[in-house]
Structure 1
Amino acid sequence: MDKLPESAQRVADLLTTIGHDKPVVMLPETGKTSAEAAAGLGCSVAEIAKSIVFRRLSDDAAVMVVASGSNRVDENKVAAIVGPLGKADARFVKERIGYAIGGVCPIGHVGKTVMLIDEDLLQLTNVWAAAGHPHAVFNLTPKQLVTMTAAPVADVALRA
């Protein structure tokens, strides 16, 4: 097997440490968007657990929402739970979370992260999450995601 990029190897090592039995998979094409990742994996867009990062205005904390790839995150719903939000630029995400945008993993953050998990993910059997690199993903159940992150599950999706 080819060597994983450093950031993906960090995730693979963390998954091994916590006893997760699924490997980090490298996609031949980028998985920067949910649609690209789903196409590369042969799954539905809903099965992509995308990580969206915001900046909480009150204390500059990183706020991550792990949402179903088919959902748009409703910033107002998230703000009602965690407080007023601002945009998180690429530098903020890299400094506070530890991963570059396009490969933001829901675990293994460099600092404390306020997290929420999209309740719609719990309707699925398995999901795929970014593993620290735009081409790297790993498979897990929604229950494993909740356990790994210790994040509350919430209604965060924008509804039509």
Structure 2
Amino acid sequence: MSLQKVKEYFAQYGMAERIIVFDVSSATVELAAQALGCAPERIAKTLSFQLKKADKTILIVAAGDAKVDNTKFKQTFHERALMLKVDTVVEKVGHPIGGVCPFAIPSDVLVYLDESLKRFETVFPACGDSNSAIELTIPELETYANTQHWVDVCNNWA
């Protein structure tokens, strides 16, 4: 169902045919990189967090080799990083774990892109399920993810 929502989302831009569906799982960075035959860092993983003070769900899209740095996260969002609980991800974001992406999500979910992505011309975010992806340029990702702005909340990549 989530993949279908993402296909419909991209169809309005004439881009649904760019979605890649695999016969194998792409639920993790490593599996997605294997399925695509690319370096793991080019997988644009989407991490879901709850901001308690603002009562907001946010998504951070980061490079596959980046790790959220709790200090940087707190400096940016003024509270500690609190990932969504597994059983609430579908309810709050609309996509299951392994397919979480910044497309076809509820309008109140905010999307941020991490600086770790800027070193690539194109990246591969998931498309709503655990065996799909789409190759997007960084400007396309900014546009179609309805990005709030860029953040620097990850380390381990530079």
TM-score of the aligned structures, taking structure 1 as reference length = 0.88
2:91 to 87, 92, 95: 95
1:40 to 19, 29, 35: 35
1:99: Cα distance to partner? 0.5
The one-letter code matched in structure 1 to 2:89 is: V
- Residue identity over aligned pairs, in percent, reads 27
Cross-structure match for 1:3:
none
What 5-or-longer segments of structure 2 have no aligned partner? none
The secondary structure found in structure 2 opposite 1:11 is helix
Could you say which residue in structure 2 is the equivalent of 1:113?
109
Residue aligning to 1:125? 121
Distance 1:74 1:19 in 2: 37
Distance (whole Å) between structure 2 residues aligned to residue 63 and residue 26 of structure 1: 26
Question: What secondary structure sits across from 1:50 in the alignment?
Answer: strand
1:19-34 superposed matches below 5 A: 19-20=14-15, 23-34=18-29
Is 1:18 the equivalent of 2:6?
A: no
Corresponding residue to 1:152 among 138, 149, 153: 149
Please give the per-residue CA displacement for 1:96-152, whole angstroms capped at 9, x wherever unaligned.
110111100111112411221111212111111110000111111111111122331
TM-score (normalised: structure 2): 0.89
Partner residue in 2 for 1:80: 75
Counterpart residue identity of residue 157, structure 1: C
CA distance in 1 between counterparts of 2:83 and 2:5 reads: 26
Once the two structures are superposed, residues 62-117 of structure 1 have per-residue CA deviations (whole angstroms, 9 ceiling, x without a partner) of 11110000111113322322231323112221111101111001111124112211
The RMSD of aligned alpha carbons is 1.7
Structure 1: gaps spanning 5 or more residues: 1-5
Letter in 2 for 1:102: G
Q: 1:31 & 1:118 partners in 2: Cα distance?
A: 21
